[in-house]
Structure 1
Amino acid sequence: MYESGFELEPLIRYASSYDSFKTERIVCELINEGVAAIFGPGTTETSGIASSVCNTVEVPHIITHWEREKVGMTNEDSSPFTLNLYPDTNVLSRAYADLLIDYTWKSYTIIYEDDDSLIRLKDILQIHDPQSSPVTVRQLGDGPDYRPLLKQIQTSGESHIILDVSNLDKIITLLRQASEVKMMEEYQSYIITSLDTHTLDFEELKFMRANITAMRLIDPSSFDLMNAIHDWELGERQFQRMYRIAAESVKTETALYHDAVRLFAAAVRELDATEEIETEKIDCKQPQQWEHGKRIAEYMRLRTDNGITGRIVFNDDGKRSHFQLEITELSKEGFKKIGTWDPEHHVNYTRTLGEAYEQVIEALQNKTFIVVSRIAAPFLDYRKSEDGEVFEGNQRLQGYSLDLIDAISKILHFNYRFEIVPDGKYGSYNKVTKQWDGLVRHLLDRKADLAICDLTITYERRTAVDFTMPFMTLGISILFLKPVKQDPNLFSFLSPLSVDVWVFMLAAYLGVSILLFVLSRMAPDDWESSHPCNQEPEELENIWNMHNCIWLTMGSIMGQGCDILPKAISTRIVACMWWFFALIMLASYTANLAAFLTMERMDATINSAEDLAKQSKIKYGAVKGGSTMKFFQESNFSTYQRMWAAMESSRPTVFVNNNDEGRDRVLKGKRQYAYLMESTMLEYFTERYCDLVQIGGLLDSKSYGIALPLNSPYRTAISGAVLKLQEDGKLSALKEKWWKGGMCKKPESGGSDDAAELGIDAVGGVFVVLGFGCLFALIVAILEFLWNVKKVAVEQKLTPWEALRSELLFAVNIWIITKPVCNRLSESESPKSTPRSQKSSRYGSEAQSSKEKSVHSVNLNNEKVNGFTSRSLSHLNRIGNFFTRKNNSD
C-alpha cells in the first residue's frame, strides 16, 4: 500500500495458535527487522506474549480477534501499545442481550461450543432471574451427528435457540440436521452469534420456515466495502489473477485487518507530515524503545475513523467500545437487514411494521393451516346427512368455529384443514407429570397450527401457547333447573304479613278495645244524658260498652269508621293512636298484598353463588380440568373458596367431563344439582332446553381466543383479521346465527320473588307508637278521674277518700249503664230559694233513692208496661217533669 511518500510492506510469519514460545521468537525476529507495527496473532493464547514484547520495545500492536478478559486485570495493567479493532467483549455481550429482550423470549436453549462462548453470552445469562422461565445450556459435541442433542431439545418443547458456534461448517451441519428432525419449522427461532453468518451458504436453508436471526459488523452494500473490493481486485490483477470478490463473502476478520491497516497508515501519514518517521531495528535481548511507537499508538487510540466495519472508536484500554451491528434475518433472498444496534440507541428497526406485516401476509399465501378443535355445539359439531350423503374433510363439520376460521381465511388467503383432538380436552397442565393435554398438547407437539373452540384465555395457558385477540367475551354463571310453580294457596291473602304480625295485631285489637272500655267509664265526658234535649237529666248513661268499643276498633282497622265517637280527651287519644296504627298497617298490608297476588309463587330456589355456598342440599360442579374449575381452585375470595372445598369433598364427584354431561345432570337432578359453566354455552343451552335457566350474573370476566404455538409469526395477522371481523359486525352475526333460533321463549319481566313477608322488625315501630299512645291515654284518664273525684268531694262535702272510694266503686261496677247527676236539685225546692249548702247529695237519701231507681230501672229494662218498656216510660216521665218545671217557672 502506498501512502504519499512512504510504502507499507507486509512481512508475514506463521505461528502455532497455542505455541507461545515460538510466537515470541517470531515477534522478536520481526522487530529485529525494523517493523513499524505488529498485526496479530489471531488467537487469545498467543496474542498476550506478542502484546508483552511490543509493550517492552514500544511498538504498536494491533489485533482483530475476540479476546477474553483477563481475570483481575485493571486499566493500569493494560498495554498502551495494544489496540483491538474487534468489538469489546462486554459491549458485544450486551448487544445479544438487548436483542433477546426486544424479542421478548421468556425461555430459550443455548447451544455453545466452548467455554469462551459462555463468556460472550454472560449478559444473556444474567438477564435471567428466578421468576423467569428456565434456561437450558447445552454444549455441542464433537459431532458430526448432532441429532440426539436436537431431539432432546425438541422433546423439551423449546422453540428458541441461541447458537454460539465459531466453526461455520458446524453451523451449516447443525441447521441441516435440525431440519431433518423437524426443528426448522416456522415456530422455531434461532439467533446465531457469529459475526460471519452472512458468509455462509444458506442456499438449501433459504426455504426453511424457521426464523434465523444474526448480527454482522459489515454492511455488504456499503460504499467503503465496494471501494475496498475494487482495490483488492486491482491488486490481484497485478499478479495476473482475475476473479470477482462478492461482498457477501467478505469475512469480519478480513474487514478488520483492512480497517486496521488503513488506520495505522493514516496515523503514520499524518504524523510523518510534521516529523519524519523512520523504522528502527531492535534486538529483544537488548531491548530499547522505538521513539515513534508511543506517538503512533496514542494517535491511533485518539483518532476516530470510519472503515468497512463502521465507526472505529477506542476506549482507554485500547478496546473498540463503540460500533454498530446490523440485525439481519434470513429470507428467500438471503440475509436481509431488518435493524441496527449500537451502545447508545440499542435495538432500532429499519423495517417498518407494515413491511413486517406484508412479509407475514406473503408467507400466508396458499399456506394450509392444520386447525385442531373439539366437538362441542354450537362451536363445532358433525354435519347431519339428510339424504345419506357422505361428507369428507371440512364439509363433515359445522359450527361457529368453522365459520370463523373460514372468514379469517378469506381475509388472509390461506387454506385450512380441521382435525378433532382425540381426548376431547381443552388443555390443562398436570403438575405431577408436568405435561399438557388436549388442544394445548397438540400445539406444543407442533401437530397443529391453530386451535379454536370455546378455549378460555388463562394465564397458565398463555405461558405455553400464544393467543390472538379475543373473539368472544364471557363469564362464569350458574345453570339450574327452572323452579316448579306451586298450587295456589286458599289462604294466600294472609301472606303479606307474617304470623307474628297477625298475632300481635289481634292482641293489640283486643287490648285497645278493653282499654277504651275502661277509660270511657273513668272519663266523665263520656257519661251523657240519654236525651240531647234534657239539659238537666236525672241520670247519665255511657254508650261505651264492650260491644261498642270492639266495633269502633274493628271499623277503624278495616278503614270503614264508626257512627259513634268518644268525647273524653283520654279516650280520644286512644282512638287517635289506634287510627294511626290502623292507617300504617292497612297501607302496608295493601301494598304487600298487591305484590303477592301478582307474582308467581315458586318452590325454594337459589338466586346467586352466595346462596349455593350457604346451603349443602344442592350440589354443584364444573368441567374437570377446565378453566371454570381452575377459577374456583385458585380464587382468594372466601365464598368461592368455600364452594371449591364443597365441590372437592363431594362424593360422588360433582365434576363432569364436558358441558353436555353437566347439562344432562342438571336436567335429571330434580333441582338437586347446579352446573357452573361459561355464559356462552349456558345461553346456548337455555335457548334449546326450556327447563333450564341462568341463575345470577357473571362471577368473573374472561375471553375466548384462537390459540397458536408460542411465538407464532402469524399471531399478529390473525388478530388483525379478528379485529376486522369485529368492526364489520360479522362476529355478532355469527353468534346470532349459531346461538339463537331455539324454541324457548324468554319470560316476561314482571313477576319475581322480590316481595317478601313483612316481619315484626319492619312494623314493630307501629306497635311501639300504639303502646306509648295507650299509656299516655291511661295517664290522662287517671288525671281526669282524680280531678272529678276532687270536684265531687268539694260539691258533696265529702272527704277525698270517700269520694274516691265512691267513684271508683261506681266505675268498676260494669253492670250500671246510667249515672245520676251529682248536683241535681230537689224537685220540691226552687232553684232560687234553695241554698247551695242544702242541695241534696246523691250520696244521701236521694242518691240512694236514685240508685234504687236506677237498679229498678235496670230490672224493668226488658219488661212491657201497657205495650211500653220501662225505659220508654222513664223517658216519658222525664219529658213530663221537664214541661211541669217549665210551667211552674213561668
Structure 2
Amino acid sequence: MNIAYKDLMLFLNWTKVAIIYEEDYGLFKQQELMKSISGQRTEMYIRQATPDTYRHVLREIRQKEFYKLIIDTNPRNVNKLFRAILQLQMNDYRYHYMFTTFDIETFDLEDFKYNGVNITAFRLVNVDSYRYTEVMEQMMEFKLTGNDILDGTTSIQTMPSLMFDSVYTLAAALTEFGDSHSILNQNLSCDAEGSWSDGPNLYKFINSVTMNGLTGKVEFEEGKRKNFKMDLLKLKRENIEKVGFWSTKDGINITDTAAFYDTNITNITLVVMTRQEKPYVMVKDDKNLTGNARFEGFCIDLLRSIAHQVGFQYRIELVPDSMYGVYDHEKQSWNGIVKELMERRADLAVASMTINYARESVIDFTKPFMNLGIGILFKVPTSQPTRLFSFMNPLAVEIWLYVLAAYMMVSFTLFVMARFSPYEWNNPNPCEDSDIIENQFSVSNSFWFITGTFLRQGSGLNPKATSTRIVGGIWWFFTLIIISSYTANLAAFLTVERMITPIESASDLADQMDIQYGTLESGSTQTFFRDSKIAIYQKMWRYMESKKPSVFVKTYEEGIKRVMEGNYAFLMESTMLDYAVQRDCNLTQIGGLLDSKGYGIATPKGSHWRDTISLAILELQEKGVIQILYDKWWKNTGDVCNRDDKSKESKANALGVENIGGVFVVLLCGLALAVVVAILEFCWNSKKNSQVDRQSLCSEMAEELRFAMHCHGSKQRPALKRTCHKCVPSSTYVPADVIALPEKHSVNYNYH
C-alpha cells in the first residue's frame, strides 16, 4: 500500500508533508512510508493525534506552513477531523489532504466541495465490476440486513468487501482441494502444539486461486496478494470522482490530470472596478493588448495574488467618471467607484481607495493593505544666497559678544595681575647697578599679548609670575577650544547647502497667503478637510473652497505639475507623495503626516467576498508579499532620483552657548585662581618688605597698593626706596640721591 502513496506523492511533487496518525489504528504505518520515500528529499512532520487533540495538532501544522497532509486516522473519527479543519479554516485550495481510508466516498464532504480544497484517497473496491453490481442487487433485496451492512451509504465499504472476497477465496480453495484430496476431519486443541495435517496443502490451493471479487482480481503469491489495482479518487465540485488508478504492474496512472492542476481557479469571474493612478493602476502603451493584460501596477499585482489565493477569475474595468467617490450633498448621490459598487455594476474595487466613515456606511471594505496619511508636497526650496560676512556664521552672535567680553576682561586682568605681582618687575639693565626696574605688561602690551595668543601667533611677551602665567595658560586653553570649534563648524558651513524653506508645517501654510495650496477633487483628502473639526484644517478648507481660480485638481499629475511651476503646495496621500518625491529631486515633503488612514479593497454592502479577501490580505502581509510589491513599484523601477540627501537633511547650525559655554566657565575659574595667587604673591612680598623697612605689615601693604594704583608707567624705583610722589608719567624715575660709581670702578660680565 505504501508504494501507492509514494508514487502519488512523486507525481504531485510533494516535498513538504505532514502526517497525522492514530496509534491504535494500524492501516497505515508512518515508519514504512518513511522507508519507502527515503532519499526523495521530502521534509516530513509527523504527529500522533487523538480526536481530542485534532485542533491542536492542525494548528501547529498551519503555523509551520505545511499544506500537504497525509491523514491516517480511524474512519470513525474522520468527521471530528473534518470539524476541526473547518474551525481552523484550513479548507481552501492551498491544502491537499491525502486520506489512508479506502472509504472516503462514504463521508459527507459537502463543506469542502466549493472552497477548492484538495482531498485525495484510494479505493480498493472495484465498483465497475460485474461482481460488485451483482452483490449490490442481491443486498438490495434484503432491505434490513443489506442496509445494516451498507451503513446508510450507497456503496459497499472496504472491510466487508475484503471479508466477502476472503470467504469466496477460501471456498474456492476448499472446493479445488476437495476435488483432488479427501479432507480428513481432525479435532484440534488451542492448547496443543499439533496442527491440521491438511493445512499446508490447503495453503497451497489458496495461493493458486484466481477469482474476480469485490476488490478486483484476487490472486496470491506466498500468502500475499498480487496484481491488484486501486482507484484514485479526487474531490470535485460535484462529488468524489475517479481520476486515475494505481496497480502493482503500472504504478500510478492519472486519467484526469486537470483534477490536480486546474482546481485553484474556479469558474467564478468577478468584475473589478478601478481607477488609473500611478503606480497603483497603469495602462500599458501596447495598443494590441486586450482584457486584463492591458493593466499593470501595484494593485494589479495585488489583485493577481489575492485571486490566486482565494480562487476566482476577474475582469478589470475603469470607472467611467475617473472618480474614487464622494457624496454630493446637492444631488444627494455618490459618484465614482462607490456608485458603481452601490448599484452592483462591480463586485470588487481594487485601487488606491481610502477607507473612511462616509464610504464605509454605504459599501464594505476589507482589512487595509496599506497604511498612509496626508502629506504636503512642495518644490525644493532655493539655495540661500552667499553673504559677504558669512565667515561669521559658524558662531552665534551671542558667542561673538561673549568672546569680545572675554578678550577685554582677560587683557585687563593680566594688566592688573602684572602690576600687583612683584615677580613681573625686573631690572632692564641687570649688568648695571641701577635702581630702575620695569614691568613689561603695560596696558597696550597686555592687549597685544592676548591678541597674539588668540590668533595663535604669539607676541614676544612671556609672563613670569605664577598668577600671570595662570592667566596666560587659561587663556590659551580658551582660545584652543574656540578656534578649533570655529574651524570645524566653518568647514560644515562651507560644504553644506543652506536652504530657505518658506513653510515648515500645515500651520505655516494656513497662516500665510502667498503660497496657494489645494488637493485632489472628489477624493478622501478633500473630504478630510471638509469634515474636519480641527481649527487649522477648517481654516485651510475655507481658503481652498473660496479660492478662485480653483486650487483643486482633477488628477495627481496635475497637482504635481502645479507644484513644479512654483508657489503651490499640494496636499496628497503620503504613498503617492513618496512615489513623486523619489522620482523628482525637485520635490520634497514638508512636515509630517496630518492624519492616519488606510487603503482597502471595496465590495458591495454585505458581500461574502469581504472576509475571504481580508484573510488573504493578512496572510500576504505576514509573508511580506505586499512589502515586496511596494518595493517593486516604488523603489526598484529604475527611475528613482539619486538625490544627495546630505545637503537636504543635514544643516550646519551656528554654535551657541549650549555647545561651547563650558569653556567660558573654565576661563572664569582660571581667572579667579589667578586673582587668588596674585593676592598671595602681593601679601608675601609685602611681608618681606615690612621686615626690611621695619614697619607694620598693614602700612607696607597700604603703601604697595597705593603705589600700584597711582603709578601708570611701566618703570619705578625699587620697592625698598619708593617715594610715590616722585613717579613721573614718562614711566621712568631716577632718584636724586643716586650714588655714582667711581670712574675707575669696573664691572666684569661673564656670559655663559
Q: What TM-score do the two structures reach when normalised by structure 2?
A: 0.54
Superposed, 1:260-339 pairs within 5 Å as none
- Relative distance call for 1:464 and 1:798 in structure 2 (3 A) is same
Of residues 637, 658, 663, the one that matches 2:555 is 658
Q: CA deviation at 1:709?
A: 0.3
Structure 1 residues 794 and 634: alpha-carbon distance in aligned structure 2, compared to 1, 3 A threshold: farther
Matching of residue 457 in structure 1 with residue 355 in structure 2: yes
- Match 2:497 to one of 577, 584, 600: 600
After superposing the two structures, state which structure 1 stretch, 645-654 or 478-487, moved more. 645-654
| Larger mean Cα displacement after TM superposition, 738-747 or 728-737 | 728-737
Asked whether the 8 Å contact 2:373–2:596 carries over to 1, the reply is yes
- Which of 597, 600, 610 aligns to 1:715? It is 610
The answer on 1:467 being equivalent to 2:347 is: no
Aligned pairs (5 A) from 1:79-94: none
CA distance in 2, matches of 1:794, 1:738: 95
Q: Which amino acid aligns with 2:576?
A: M
Q: Is 1:553 the counterpart of 2:476 in the alignment?
A: no
Deviation string for 1:106-143 (max 9, x for gaps)? xxxxxxxxxxxxxxxxxxxxxxxxxxxxxxxxxxxxxx
Provide closer, same or farther for how the CA distance between residues 878 and 693 of structure 1 changes in structure 2, counting only shifts above 3 A. farther
Deviation at 1:810, TM superposition (A): 6.4
- Report 1:440-519 matches (<5 A): 440-486=338-384, 491-519=389-417
2:424 is aligned, of 514, 518, 526, to 526
Which residue of structure 2 lines up, in the alignment, with residue 317 of structure 1? none
Match of residue 542 from structure 1: 439
Report what 2:485 is aligned to: 588
> Deviation at 1:538?
2.5
Q: 1:533-579 CA distances to partner (integer Å, 9 max, x unpaired)? A: 78x75222112134542343234434566664333454345334434
C-alpha change, 1:454 and 1:784, in structure 2 (3 Å) is same
Look up the equivalent residue of 1:505 and give its one-letter code: V
State the match for 2:723 in structure 1. Answer: 843
Post-superposition Cα deviations, 1:202-235, rounded to whole Å, max 9, x if no partner, equal xxxxxxxxxxxxxxxxxxxxxxxxxxxxxxxxxx
- 1:483-540 per-residue CA deviation (whole Å, 9 max, x = no partner) reads 3344655654322102332233234213322332233123322112336678x75222
| 1:16-35 map, 5 Å | none
Q: Return the letter of the residue paired with 1:479.
A: L
Residue 621 in 1 paired to residue 522 in 2? no
Quote the residue 1:206 is aligned against: none
Helix, strand or coil for the counterpart of 1:417?
strand
Summarize the alignment of residues 232-243 of structure 1 with structure 2, pairs less than 5 Å apart.
Answer: none
Shift of 1:744: 3.9
Q: Which residue of structure 2 aligns with residue 571 of structure 1?
A: 468
Partner of 1:375: 276
Q: For residue 215 of structure 1, what is the aligned residue in structure 2?
A: none
Q: Number of aligned residue pairs: give it.
A: 483
Where structure 2 has 5 or more consecutive residues not aligned to the other structure, the ranges are 1-236, 239-261
Equivalent residue for 1:680? 575
How far did residue 682 of structure 1 move?
Answer: 1.7
Distance 2:351 2:727 in 1: 108
Contact 2:510 2:539 in 1 (8 A): yes
The answer to whether the 8 Å contact 2:585/2:643 transfers is no
Distance between the aligned counterparts of 1:879 and 1:852, measured in 2? 32
Cα offset, 1:784, TM superposition? 6.0
CA contact (8 A) 1:527 1:542 kept: yes
Once residues 493 and 727 of structure 2 are traced to their aligned partners in structure 1, the CA distance between those partners, rounded to angstroms, is: 63
Name the Cα RMSD after superposition: 4.6
- Structure 2 counterpart SS, 1:738: helix
**The residue matched to 1:505 in structure 2 has which SS?**
helix
Are the structure 2 counterparts of residues 742 and 615 from structure 1 closer, same or farther at C-alpha, using a change threshold of 3 Å? Answer: farther
- State which drifts further: 722-731 or 593-602: 722-731
Deviation track 1:234-272 (CA, whole Å, cap 9, x = no partner) reads xxxxxxxxxxxxxxxxxxxxxxxxxxxxxxxxxxxxxxx
Question: Shift of residue 408 of structure 1?
Answer: 3.8
Q: Does residue 704 of the first structure (1) align with residue 603 of the second (2)?
A: no
Deviation of 1:707 after TM superposition, in Å, equals 0.4
- Residue 384 of structure 1 aligns with which residue? 285
> Is the Cα–Cα contact under 8 Å of residues 379 and 564 in structure 2 kept in the other structure?
yes
CA contact (8 A) 1:457 1:705 kept: yes
**Deviation digits for residues 737-760 of structure 1, max 9, x if unmatched?**
433425343335544434311235
Deviations 1:760-779, CA, capped at 9 Å, x for gaps? 56545654664575567567
Q: Name the SS for the 1:446 alignment partner.
A: coil
CA distance in 2, matches of 1:729, 1:770: 59
Out of 739, 743, 746, which is 2:639 matched to?
743
Deviation readout 1:139-165 (Å, 9 max, x if unpaired) = xxxxxxxxxxxxxxxxxxxxxxxxxxx
Provide the residue aligned with 1:692 in structure 2: 587
Task: Give 2:564's aligned amino acid.
Answer: L
| In 2: Cα distance, 1:842 partner to 1:555 partner | 34
Q: Which residue of the partner structure matches residue 565 of structure 2?
A: 668
2:562 aligned counterpart, secondary structure = helix
Task: Tell me the CA shift for residue 780 of structure 1.
Answer: 6.6
Contact 1:789–1:803 under 8 Å retained in 2: yes
Residue aligned with 1:588, SS? helix
Q: Secondary structure at the match of 1:664?
A: helix
SS in 2 for 1:680: helix
Distance in 2 (alpha carbons) for counterparts of 1:879 and 1:738: 108
Say which SS state the counterpart of residue 688 (structure 1) adopts: coil
What does the per-residue CA deviation read over 1:768-825, in whole Å, with 9 as the maximum and x for residues that have no partner?
Answer: 66457556756775786687678767755789789957864565444x43332233xx
Q: Quick one: which amino acid aligns to residue 376 of structure 1?
A: E
SS at match of 1:454: coil
Aligned 8 A contact 1:607 1:696 in 2: yes
How far 1:663 sits from its partner (Å)?
Answer: 0.9
- What CA distance in whole angstroms lies between the structure 1 residues aligned with 2:728 and 2:275? 107
Pair 1:649–1:781, CA change in 2 (3 A): farther
SS in 1 for 2:377: strand
Residue from 755, 765, 768 that aligns with 2:652: 755
Letter in 1 for 2:272: V
Say whether the 8 Å CA contact 1:364–1:414 is kept in structure 2. yes
Counterpart-to-counterpart distance in 1, 2:290 and 2:728: 119
Rounded Cα–Cα distance in structure 2 between residues aligned with 1:849 and 1:682: 83
1:659, CA displacement in angstroms? Answer: 1.7
| Paired residue type of 1:709 | P
Query: SS of the counterpart of 2:497?
Result: coil
The code of the aligned residue for 1:381 comes to M
Separation in structure 1 between the aligned mates of residue 620 and residue 608 of structure 2, nearest angstrom = 20
Indicate conservation of the 8 Å contact 1:467/1:705, yes or no.
yes
Q: Does 1:819 align with 2:712?
A: no
Q: How far apart are the structure 1 equivalents of 2:730 and 2:456?
A: 43
Report the secondary structure of 2:719's partner residue.
Answer: coil
Q: Is the 8 A contact 1:789 1:807 kept in 2?
A: no
Report the alpha carbon displacement of residue 658 of structure 1 after superposing the two structures with TM: 3.0
In the alignment, the residues of structure 2 paired with residue 438 and residue 572 of structure 1 have an alpha-carbon distance, to the nearest angstrom, of: 84
Distance 2:687 2:742 in 1: 32
SS of match in other structure, 2:643: coil
How much has 1:664 moved relative to structure 2? 1.3
Task: From the superposition, tell whether residues 849 and 459 of structure 1 become closer, same or farther in structure 2 (CA, over 3 Å).
Answer: closer
SS in 1 for 2:412: helix
Please report the TM-score for the alignment, with normalisation by the length of structure 1.
0.46
Secondary structure of 2:570 counterpart: strand
How much does 1:456 deviate? 1.2
Percent identity of equivalent pairs: 43
